[in-house]
Structure 1
Amino acid sequence: MSITLRGSLRLRAVSLKLSYHIVPRRPMASSSSTAAGPVRLVLFDIFDTLCTPRMPIYEQYHEEVLKTSLHSSSISPESIRQGFKIAYKEMNQIWPLYGKHTDPPTAPEDWWAELIRRCMVHAGGDEQEVLQVMPRLGPALLERFESDEGYEPFPEALTTLVRLRRKGVKVSLVSNADPRILKTLDALSITHLLSYPPTLSWDVELSKPDPAIFQKACESCGESVGEGVIMVGDELKADYRGAINAGLEARLIRRPGEWSDGAVRAPEEDLQGVHVIRDLDEVVQEVDRRNLTQNPGRPPDKPA
């Protein structure tokens, strides 16, 4: 039996899976900064694009475990790391879309609590001991990752949003996340810098790289897909390829150094022909080049 934050919750497995929608073929937008038109809208991925864990997630989980009575010698940061991967895969197979279509529907908080329980069992914890600590461990981890204790914005993230808005460019987000991410965005002072609310998988029941989720994002921002709408993200398939297939422009951000443990990277990625940027400042610089061509009397904006 699974314990959730709201007590005993009976979840019934459903076979629903996010399906890829067939969308009309549209003219492909250029992925190159040589595109002549002005930039109208910039869409950003969230994790590993605008923000990153303050420390590896599995280490943060282990810190919270040490605050409980769950002292199994087999539970370590590495065992949690592996246990999380197994639990996350299980949850997405049995209760996709964060349990939205289970009967009865599951709240995202309960979905994550069940994932945490499974993670700890897979990490080596005794099942009964894990059940006993869940009333404390579950809320502690949920609250941690809904705050700036779990995540931090990249140094240039907030100023990038501010500078783009000052230039009259719309900004919003596209994420395969549930509504809990909204609390994180508030805590990181990102929400109030957006032109429009984020487009989330939970809300639109679509998932990157499905082209339809990018088209939904454009619609919610009052823009049509095509040249002048740029998607910025760190995942080649989900963010870059998905946006290109939807008819948007795309920029793949790959910062120098190591990436977070949760970042999706193929062992041998083919980046030939892919427009790669090293930081978000490059997006602002591109907007300066392209939009000043349309408004030559306006000087470039200085960093905030």
Structure 2
Amino acid sequence: MVIRRVLLDAFGTVFSPREPVFQQYTNAARSLGLHVEEDAVKNGFKRGTFPFKQWAQSHPLYGKLSSPPLEAEEWWSNVIADTFRYAGVATSAFEPVRAQLCRSLVRRFWGKEGYELHWDCVPFLRALHGLPSPAGTHRRFPAPGIASNTDPAVSKILHSLGVLAGQTDPPDAGIRAEEIWTTWAIEEDKKDVRFWQEVLRRMRQTSGEADLQAEEVLVVGDELVSDYETPRRAGFRTLLLRRDLAGGEHARASYDDETDGLAQVDSVVTLLDVVEWIRRENGSTV
């Protein structure tokens, strides 16, 4: 079957932190007068995977399922506070600036202050838009959708980075706001096939293509389980994005599949390679 639609992961695929997150945490803390060592924050941030997991378990979906529900900003603020606590920052020094620091960091990571687009994202959107639609239901190949393991802030990030429909050139090459699907909204994890089944159901609605099949949708992302193996089990076509980011671990969501032994997967190095892959797969149709 030909590829009719594309779904992209967000973090590590479309955008990544401008600098390692622990550096941004350190700079934000110092700007408010906290005396913190970068290495301590880095170590605290690594240990901070524990408070993240703890909060994810005790308050799933960024607090959406808590009773009463938490706002995502409050959820993240608690993770941030625990990270600094693990970094050894004394409570007496932290509490006076806690609210301001947590608010500034949450909002930093809501947009281009904390994140930047990967160089190939905009050229990819334009190149994908330049393909004719293989299904004949669109004048051009539709813009990609987003499948993200996060909260609604991903829409703010994408808007801040200028890649939503109406912000790009041409305007309809950008990502449509109604085609940004998150685990927060769907209430399933990307490692669960039910997430992908629900995304397909919603994509059929937003695209007006009730006959769209999973094998006609290509999923591209940088995490082996979430973006490659699980959607493939749900019937989707998948490509693992393996950018060459030597020394740039902060720009990838995961290196697990490579550190544990290089997995034998269908992969690409850039998003532009995805366009060429679609050309080859669709053959003379495109």
Shorter-normalised TM-score: what interval? 0.7 to 0.9
Aligned-partner SS, 2:116: strand
Q: Which residue of 1 aligns with 2:266?
A: 275
Of 246, 249, 254, which aligns to 1:260? 249
Give TM-score, length-normalised by structure 1. Answer: 0.79
Q: Among the aligned pairs, what percent are the same residue?
A: 29
Of 175, 194, 202, which aligns to 1:212? 194
* Letter paired with 2:266: H
**What are the superposed Cα offsets for residues 26-80 of structure 1, whole Å, 9 maximum, x if unpaired?**
xxxxxxxxxxx32101000011111111110111110101011322569734233
Q: Which residue of 2 aligns with 1:248?
A: 236
Of 196, 216, 233, which aligns to 2:221? 233
Structure 1 Cα separation of the partners of residues 32 and 55 of structure 2: 24
Structure 2 Cα separation of the partners of residues 76 and 46 of structure 1: 29
Contact 1:48 1:260 in 2 (8 A): no
Which stretch of structure 1 is more off in the superposition, 122-131 or 243-252? 122-131
**What are the superposed Cα offsets for residues 215-244 of structure 1, whole Å, 9 maximum, x if unpaired?**
222222215333221000101111100111
Aligned-partner SS, 1:59: helix
Give unpaired runs (5+ residues) of structure 2: 132-139, 166-173
Greater Cα radius of gyration, structure 1 or 2: 1
* Letter paired with 1:108: A
**What are the superposed Cα offsets for residues 231-263 of structure 1, whole Å, 9 maximum, x if unpaired?**
001011111001110100000010113343362
Structure 1 Cα separation of the partners of residues 261 and 164 of structure 2: 32
Q: Which residue of 2 aligns with 1:183?
A: 156
| 1:136-155 matches, cutoff 5 A | 136-155=100-119
Give unpaired runs (5+ residues) of structure 1: 1-36, 296-304
| Cα drift, residue 127 of structure 1 | 1.9
Structure 1 Cα separation of the partners of residues 180 and 203 of structure 2: 10
Contact 1:231 1:248 in 2 (8 A): yes
Contact 1:40 1:169 in 2 (8 A): yes
Q: Which residue of 2 aligns with 1:194?
A: 175
Aligned-partner SS, 2:125: helix
RMSD: 1.9
Q: Which residue of 2 aligns with 1:117?
A: 81
Structure 2 Cα separation of the partners of residues 100 and 283 of structure 1: 34
Q: Which residue of 2 aligns with 1:169?
A: 141
Q: 1:82 to 1:292 in 2, by over 3 A?
A: closer
Structure 2 Cα separation of the partners of residues 257 and 44 of structure 1: 19
| Cα drift, residue 134 of structure 1 | 1.3
Give the number of aligned pairs.
Answer: 258
| Cα drift, residue 152 of structure 1 | 0.7
Contact 2:216 2:237 in 1 (8 A): yes
